[in-house]
Structures are given as structure tokens and as C-alpha cells.
């Protein structure tokens, strides 16, 4: 007798290495993420979704796999993944547990942005040396003891969209900063060891400016740090994104994740940094499609082996989903492949288009999957219902919400910088 087929046994890479011309090193890393997702994340995803509990054991298990240090440079002891490789690996995790992949993204960005991305930005030799020494401290915590970093930027106002300075402020004092403020939707709240916050560095007499945005790791156990509020959302429930309060928190200078003024440079010169929320949703789009194929073939574990693939309406729906998935993959792959400092206007508009497409299409494909598979597929015992809810969250995430992407594409396509009709 043959062993029963696991739902994920047949999962091929979302981006086949040969077809997408990936190197052997990339292919290995991405396969490692896929295997980890199938083996470790998938079986635990339902529980954390139901309980809205943070999947801390997934992060503990990532440590020996090297996945917490995927973007820590090789010479520092990490896996040294570049932007594109990270995105492809993250999509594979998103396929199996959206909440873990999204939370992992928050952690990984603290290493990617202070690592490969910061290497592309201008700094004086002294600034670079100080930055490299500081980031080594963060990397060692991750490598040696599996420390977890969160990325709470949002405040509920216009700052997370990049319009005004962050209301959370860091006042320079001897040896560091005193931080005050509030962050909403702090994924990994209560679980992270460090909160990589964005705040405005501001001396008493100074005006608040976006140019003085500081990217700072606040130790979770520092005096004045607290997590408040409940967390009972529609989707991405395992991210446990509660509210973080910072009251007169002293943060030593060595906790800077980027030197003074460099975050503003990054946001201006390296805009693809904001595409890093999208891989999770690329994975969810693939997961919704995979689910539908398995379900219509009568191969969904936990359901009777009833085939539904012979109906032309089902075949047409799957074809439409396939076309939308391939369109999304192609655009997204192009956008993540051209991430670099000082991209052209065309590349930036393509990045917005890719972000918009992934975030909107993930939910569109999941919606079609439910409609196509039918009533039994929406039971909470099956993954599709969770994928559907999780996928709804993508287009709401700042700074590149679907609305903001459309807004910017339209404006920048029609107006060159400085142009007006006045």
C-alpha cells in the first residue's frame, strides 16, 4: 500500500531555478526555505491562526537552520542572501504560513537594511566603520542566541506612509537616546527581543524632520517598554501585532541600526526596500492556486477523494487563476530582480505595480479559489479559509498600500518631478 499523499508532497519551487536563471546557491537557499515551510510551518499554522498566538517555536526552529540570519552577510557568519534571494525564500515560507513569513520579514529587514542595503548608501569612512561595528553586535545576537527583531514603524498617522516625521522621538543624551512614543500594529509584540523602531531624532530646540529619522533597536526588556491592547483581527492572526508604548526609554547609541540620516537616504535612494512585505503574499497567491488544483483533483487530505476537475467551469476558473498567478509572478520577479540604489523612474513605477499586483491578486486568487472549490473548502479545518483571510491584509500595509501605489503611479506617470499645471 502506498503512503497517503501529503498535500505539499508535490510542491515545486514557485520560481523554478532553471526557468528563472537562479544560481545554485540561490536554488539551495530557496529549497531550504520551502522544505522548512512544508515540514515545520504548515502543520502549526492552523493552531496559531485559531489562537491568534505568536509562533515562537517556528522562530526557535529557524535558528539552527540559519534562517534567522539569512541576510546577515557571509563574512559575519550569516547566509548572505541578497535582496532577490531573500524575497524568493520568503515567498516559499508565505506559502505555508503567512503570519510566520510576515513576522520573519520584519526580523530579516533589520539585517537586510543594515546589511546589503546600507552597503549601497553613502557614508563617510568613519561612519561606515562605526556602522559595521554596531551591526556586528546585532548580528552576533541573532547568530549566537537566536535573538528576534521586530519592525514597528506604524503610528496611526501619516508618518508610516512617508509623509511626515515620526511622532516617536529620540532625544539625544549622553551615550544614547531617550525614546518616547507609541507604535501600532507591532508584529511580534511580546515575542521579539528587540523592536527595530523608526523615530525622529530631535534635540530640544530642533524642529522634527523626516531627514532625522533614526532606525533604532529598542531592547524589549528596557525600562519603559510595554505592550498593550488586544489582538483579534481578520487575518495574519499569528503576527500578534499589538501596540507598543515607549515611555522615557533609554536606548544606548550602539543600538542604532543605521547611522544618523541614513534611513532617509535609504527610503529615498533604495525604494525597493518597501517591497519586502510582498513576498509573503506572493506565497499566499501560490498557496491558494495549489490548494485549488489539489482539491479539484480530489487529493485534499481530510476530505473525501471526490474529483471535480472534469467540469469545464472548474477548468476555466483554474485557467484564469493560473494566468493571474503567472502574470503576478512575472512582474514581481522582474521588480525584485532590479532592486538597486538609485533606480530609474520606470523601475520605481514597476516596483509599485508589482507590489499592487501581488497584494491585490493574492486575495483575488484566494477569493476565486473559494468560489471554485465550493462550500466544503471554506471550512476552518482546511488551509484555504486562512489563506483567504491572510491575503486580505496585504494591500492595507503601509507604506505601499494598494491605494498609495495607484496614487503614485498615476501622479508620477503624468508629472515629471517639479512639474505643475499652475
Ligand X SMILES: Cc1cc2nc3c(=O)[nH]c(=O)nc-3n(C[C@H](O)[C@H](O)[C@H](O)COP(=O)(O)OP(=O)(O)OC[C@H]3O[C@@H](n4cnc5c(N)ncnc54)[C@H](O)[C@@H]3O)c2cc1C
> If you search the block for the grid coordinates 525564500, which residue do you land on?
89
List the one residue out of 92, 91, 90, 139 whose CA is nearest residue 113: 139
Question: How many other C-beta atoms lie within 10 A of the C-beta of residue 175?
Answer: 10
- Indicate which single residue of 100, 168, 187, 212 sits in contact with ligand X (rule: CB under 6 A): 187
- Indicate which single residue of 31, 52, 56, 161 sits in contact with ligand X (rule: CB under 6 A): 161
Closest to ligand X by CB, 210 or 322? 210
Q: Please, what is the minimum distance in Å from the beta carbon of residue 261 to ligand X?
A: 21
Q: How far apart are CA 400 and CA 256, in angstroms?
A: 25
- Indicate which single residue of 22, 62, 186, 370 sits in contact with ligand X (rule: CB under 6 A): 186
- Indicate which single residue of 5, 129, 158, 228 sits in contact with ligand X (rule: CB under 6 A): 158
Q: How far apart are CA 309 and CA 227, in angstroms?
A: 49
Q: How far apart are CA 192 and CA 147, in angstroms?
A: 8
* Residue 404 binds ligand X (CB under 6 A): yes
* Residue 109 binds ligand X (CB under 6 A): no
* Residue 86 binds ligand X (CB under 6 A): no
From 120-128, 180-188, 214-222, 223-231, give the range in contact with ligand X by CB under 6 A: 180-188
146 backbone φψ class: left, alpha, beta (φ>0; ψ -120 to 50): left
Report the DSSP pairing between strands 176-186 and 242-252: antiparallel
Instruction: Map 258-297 to HEC letters.
Output: CCCCHHHHHHHHCHHHHHHHHHHHHHHHHHHHHHHHHHHC
* Residue 274 binds ligand X (CB under 6 A): no
* Residue 163 binds ligand X (CB under 6 A): yes
* Residue 153 binds ligand X (CB under 6 A): yes
- Indicate which single residue of 58, 154, 280, 361 sits in contact with ligand X (rule: CB under 6 A): 154
Residues that bind ligand X (rule: CB under 6 A) add up to a total of: 24
* Residue 110 binds ligand X (CB under 6 A): no
* Residue 243 binds ligand X (CB under 6 A): no
* Residue 185 binds ligand X (CB under 6 A): yes
* Residue 280 binds ligand X (CB under 6 A): no
* Residue 361 binds ligand X (CB under 6 A): no
- Angle, CA 351 vertex, CA 349 and CA 354 arms, to 5°: 110
Q: Please, what is the minimum distance in Å from the beta carbon of residue 92 to ligand X?
A: 20
Q: Contact 249/178 with Cβ under 8 angstroms?
A: yes
117 backbone φψ class: left, alpha, beta (φ>0; ψ -120 to 50): alpha
- Indicate which single residue of 58, 111, 151, 200 sits in contact with ligand X (rule: CB under 6 A): 151
Spell out a b/e string for 371-405, using b for 16 or more CB atoms within 10 Å of the CB, else e. Answer: ebbeeebeeeebbbbbbbbbbbbbbebbbbbbebb
* Residue 239 binds ligand X (CB under 6 A): yes
Contacting positions for ligand X (CB under 6 A): 106, 151-154, 156, 158, 160-161, 163, 185-187, 236, 239, 241, 393, 396-398, 401, 403-404, 407
Amino acid at each position: 500500500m502506498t503512503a497517503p499523499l501529503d498535500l505539499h508532497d508535490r510542491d515545486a519551487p514557485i520560481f523554478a531555478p532553471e526557468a528563472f536563471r537562479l544560481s545554485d546557491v540561490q536554488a539551495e537557499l530557496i529549497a531550504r526555505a520551502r522544505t522548512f515551510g512544508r515540514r515545520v510551518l504548515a502543520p502549526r499554522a492552523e493552531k496559531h491562526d485559531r489562537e491568534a498566538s505568536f509562533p515562537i517555536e517556528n522562530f526557535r526552529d529557524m535558528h539552527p537552520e540559519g534562517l534567522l540570519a539569512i541576510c546577515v552577510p557571509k563574512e559575519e557568519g550569516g547566509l548572505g542572501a541578497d535582496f532577490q534571494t531573500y524575497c524568493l525564500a520568503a515567498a516559499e515560507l508565505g506559502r505555508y504560513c503567512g503570519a510566520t513569513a510576515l513576522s520573519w520579514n520584519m526580523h530579516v529587514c533589520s539585517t537586510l537594511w543594515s546589511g546589503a542595503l546600507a552597503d549601497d548608501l553613502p557614508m563617510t569612512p568613519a561612519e561606515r566603520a562605526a556602522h559595521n561595528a554596531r551591526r556586528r553586535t546585532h548580528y552576533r545576537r541573532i547568530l549566537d542566541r537566536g535573538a528576534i527583531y521586530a519592525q514597528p514603524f506604524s503610528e496611526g498617522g501619516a508618518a508610516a506612509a512617508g509623509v511626515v516625521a515620526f511622532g516617536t522621538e529620540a532625544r539625544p543624551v549622553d551615550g544614547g537616546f531617550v525614546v518616547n512614543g507609541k507604535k501600532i500594529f507591532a508584529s511580534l509584540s511580546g515575542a521579539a527581543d528587540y523592536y527595530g523602531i523608526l523615530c525622529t531624532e530631535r534635540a530640544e530646540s530642533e524642529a522634527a524632520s523626516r531627514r532625522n529619522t533614526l532606525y533604532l533597536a529598542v531592547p524589549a526588556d528596557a525600562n519603559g517598554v510595554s505592550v498593550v491592547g488586544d489582538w483579534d483581527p481578520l487575518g495574519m492572526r499569528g503576527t500578534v501585532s499589538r501596540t507598543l508604548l515607549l515611555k522615557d526609554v533609554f536606548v544606548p547609541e550602539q543600538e542604532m541600526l543605521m547611522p544618523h540620516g541614513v534611513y532617509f537616504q535609504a527610503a529615498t535612494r533604495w525604494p525597493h526596500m518597501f517591497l519586502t512585505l510582498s513576498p509573503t503574499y506572493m506565497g499566499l497567491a501560490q498557496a491558494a492556486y495549489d490548494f485549488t488544483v489539489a482539491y479539484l483533483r480530489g487529493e485534499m487530505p481530510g476530505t473525501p477523494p471526490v474529483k471535480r476537475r472534469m467540469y469545464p467551469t472548474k477548468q476555466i476558473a483554474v485557467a484564469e487563476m493560473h494566468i493571474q498567478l503567472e502574470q503576478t509572478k512575472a512582474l514581481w520577479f522582474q521588480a525584485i530582480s532590479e532592486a538597486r540604489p538609485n533606480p530609474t523612474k520606470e523601475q520605481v513605477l514597476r516596483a509599485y505595480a508589482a507590489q499592487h499586483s501581488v497584494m491585490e491578486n493574492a486575495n483575488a486568487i484566494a477569493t476565486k479559489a473559494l468560489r471554485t472549490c465550493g462550500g466544503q473548502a471554506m471550512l476552518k479545518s482546511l488551509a484555504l479559509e486562512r489563506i483567504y483571510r491572510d491575503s486580505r491584509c496585504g494591500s492595507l500595509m503601509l507604506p505601499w498600500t494598494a491605494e498609495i501605489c495607484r496614487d503614485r503611479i498615476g501622479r508620477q506617470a503624468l508629472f515629471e518631478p517639479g512639474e505643475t499645471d499652475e
